[in-house]
Amino acid sequence: MPIRPVCVAGLFIVSGAMTRGAGVPLDSPRSARMAYYCNTGYSQEVCQAQVARLQQTLGTFDLSALGDWNWILVRSDDWYPILRRVGRDPDSPAFTILERRQTFLEEALFQPMAGRSRTLLEKWRVPLNELLNVAVTHELAHALCREQDEARTHAYAGQLSESGHVTCGEGTGR
The type of residue at 103 is: T
124 has a pLDDT exceeding 70: yes
108 has a pLDDT exceeding 60: yes
Residues facing 36 on adjacent strands: 14, 71
Q: Give pLDDT, residue 31.
A: 52
**Helix/strand/coil (H, E, C) string of 14-76?**
EECCCEECCCEECCCCCCCCEEEEECCCCCHHHHHHHHHHHHHHHCCCCCCCCCCEEEEEECH
Average pLDDT, whole number, for the chain? 79
Full-model pTM: 0.78
4 has a pLDDT exceeding 60: no
97 has a pLDDT exceeding 90: yes
What are residue 133's phi and psi, to 5 degrees? -60, -40
pLDDT, mean of residues 43-63 = 93
Tens of pLDDT, residue by residue over 132-146, are 999 999 999 999 999
